[in-house]
Amino acid sequence: MTLPLDNFPTAFADDLAALQGSWEQVGLEVDGIADPPDHHSAPGALAMIHGNHFEVRTIEGELLLKGNLTLDASTTPKAITWVDSIGADTGNSLPATCRLKGGRFVFVTADAGMPRPNAFRTSMGLTRHRFIRKR
């Protein structure tokens, strides 16, 4: 279920509003390895964020992932939690750290059950995605 932005506290609504729209993946790092083959995020994959819902699709439109997100902009760095509704991580809370600046969105996600990352680098069990705004 996608919630309208006016259902979120004002302190977080601005950050959540900045995430809305389409983002093109321009970089991926998994377990410390840059741009490995990955079945959840093909090169050039597009992430679409609408309210608290996200979808990730290939350039051709194939659905790779979808689910919901929760943003906590009160932390430094900002925290985001992804919950996939399809795939191997269905229903798992994936803790992440994110940075949004202008047309760039970077996040590092930990595997389910791991602590939330506190840096923008990866090691075993951590994945970093880099996106730019797609207009």
Tens digit of pLDDT for each residue in 43-71?
788 999 999 999 999 888 999 999 999 99
Query: What pLDDT score does 88 carry?
Result: 87
Query: What pLDDT score does 41 carry?
Result: 63
Categorize the per-residue pLDDT at 98 as very low, low, confident or very high, splitting at 50, 70 and 90.
very high
Report field, pTM of the whole predicted structure over 0.85: no
pLDDT at 11 over 80: no
Closest CA to 89 of 117, 61, 118, 110: 110
Q: 130: which DSSP letter?
A: E
Architecture of domain 5-134: Beta Barrel (2.40)
**Residue located via tokens 């083959």:** 37
Instruction: Kindly state the tokens that stand for 111.
Output: 């595997």
Query: What pLDDT score does 14 carry?
Result: 85
- Comparing 96 with 41, the larger pLDDT belongs to 96
Instruction: Kindly state the tokens that stand for 105.
Output: 């969105």
